[in-house]
Amino acid sequence: MNWREHLAHRSQNIKPSAIREIFKLTQGKKILSFAGGMPAPGLFPVARLTEAANTVLDEQGAKALQYSTTEGYPPLREWVAQQLDGASPEGVQVVSGSQQGLDMIARILLDPGDKVAVTAPTYMGALLAFDAFEASYLPVSIDDDGMELESLERALESGAKLIYAIANFDNPTGITMSLERRHGVVELARRYGVPIYEDNPYGELRFEGDDLPHLYELAPDLVIYGGTFSKIVVPGFRLGWLVADPELLTTVTRTKQASDLHTATFTQMVAYEVLRDGFIDGQVEQIRDYYRKQRDAMLAALEKSFPKEVHWTRPRGGMFVWVTLPQGMDAMEVLKEAVSRGVAFVPGGPFYTDDTGGNTFRLSYSVATLDEIDIGMHTIGEILKSVKV
Ligand SMILES: Cc1ncc(COP(=O)(O)O)c(C=O)c1O
């Protein structure tokens, strides 16, 4: 059977991951990797989760192992609603990782050819979800305060049907949207009548400064908020949530029913167990302290080792630093040389929807040790100094 001939049109649109192709280069080699966005496994609270799993099985018994409602475990929906001003439990849909939330929203809002306003660069997983429904893109430029409003307005004038935004400690840039921009983005969205998908996996991982209101909190009628358990506890639970107008969520719920009936009952209950008793507060504090030290080490190493013509972001939270090389330099070439010297990062091109960004790359400081960060940045710095600009 030639299966390609049998694929639906939308499935022909799914591209192989550029990054996976690159990482075939690294197979079989010992690589110091700043590429992945994985949480540090040493922070996973294995003992506490074991205890919570036992409590759930003791107290809930077979109920924890039975099918359950598509909307999600009611106490967990209540907990989520309490975290956001303007949210109610009916406005919470539990999903199997916030990535499923992106898929669900793309599925219910986007027709082929519909335009999504995305920052340039943006999270590749969101593009993957939108691509599957044959979306097209309107790139919005960013600076150190997040989305540039004039650029966003041009995208809205050009017919954007959805705005995709990561306001806190963006993946891939590490940038946080300022309060003024948050108001500006919401105001523009309202003026043009366009919904916003606010993706917030990193919001709890703030190292400094005050929390800013979520876009959802500024405009609960306009914003669909995606949250996750992945970065505050563990990603392997595949547990996240959408918060939105309950009327919109009715369609999400039906769509999710078709997809997987519901998110795993047992993991929802175990997650709720550690969220409910305050354990999560200490856990988040520990994660922040850990990543703050990692971030500090990376910024110090960049300062020490990278040539002064190179620009990089200074994230106030999250897991990523975004590097911009002088125009004309090719991050892919730098990567090939880096891999041959045992170091990897993610080149920036695939994070853009318009074939730009060849001179950019993303560094993640989440899993390397402090010494490895120093060594890795030294190696990349040596390569950059050896390339003629
Ligand atoms: C911006 C962004 N959105 C969504 C996700 C998906 O997270 P999860 O499906 O684990 O909740 C990630 C994961 O790294 C991410 O960086």
- Give me the residue spans of the domains in the chain: 3-44+282-386, 69-277
The secondary structure of 264-275 as a DSSP string is -HHHHHHHHHHH
Residue from 19, 44, 98 whose mutation best tests the ligand 1 pocket (most atoms within 8 A of CB):
98
Q: Which residue has the tokens 């948050």?
A: 182
Ligand 1, atom 6, residue with closest C-alpha: 99
Residue 90: closest CA among 111, 106, 108, 74: 74
Return the pLDDT at 165. 98
pTM over 0.75: yes
Return the pLDDT at 22. 66
Return the pLDDT at 28. 74
Please state which of the four CATH numbers 3.30.70.260, 3.90.1150.10, 3.20.20.390, 3.65.10.10 is assigned to the domain occupying 3-44+282-386: 3.90.1150.10
The secondary structure of 37-67 as a DSSP string is -PPPGGG--HHHHHHHHHHHHHHHGGGGGS-
121 CA from centroid of ligand 1 (Å)? 15
CATH code for 69-277? Answer: 3.40.640.10
345 CA from centroid of ligand 1 (Å)? 18
- Alpha-carbon Rg of the chain, whole angstroms? 21
* Ligand 1 residue neighbourhood (C-beta within 6 Å): 37, 97-99, 123, 125, 166, 171, 199, 201, 228, 230, 235, 240
253 CA from centroid of ligand 1 (Å)? 20
97 CA from centroid of ligand 1 (Å)? 7
Return the pLDDT at 349. 94
β-strands 223-228, 142-143 pairing: unpaired
Closest approach atom of ligand 1 to CA 99 = 9
The CB density around residue 237, as the number of other CB atoms within 10 Å, is: 20
Quick one: 51 exposed, middle or buried, by C-beta within 10 A (0-12, 13-18, 19+)? middle
Return the pLDDT at 206. 97
Return the pLDDT at 19. 66
pLDDT tens for each residue of the chain, 389 residues long: 988 889 998 888 777 766 666 667 777 778 999 998 899 999 999 999 999 999 999 999 999 999 999 999 999 999 999 999 999 999 999 999 999 999 999 999 999 999 999 999 999 999 999 999 999 999 999 999 999 999 999 999 999 999 999 999 999 999 999 999 999 999 999 999 999 999 999 999 999 999 999 999 999 999 999 999 999 999 999 999 999 999 999 999 999 999 999 999 999 999 999 999 889 999 999 999 999 999 999 999 999 999 999 999 999 999 999 999 999 999 999 999 999 999 999 999 999 999 999 999 999 999 999 999 999 999 999 999 998 55
C-alpha torsion sign, points 299, 313, 224, 133? negative
Helix, coil or strand: residue 199: strand
- Give the DSSP letter of residue 316: S
Closest approach atom of ligand 1 to CA 170 = 1
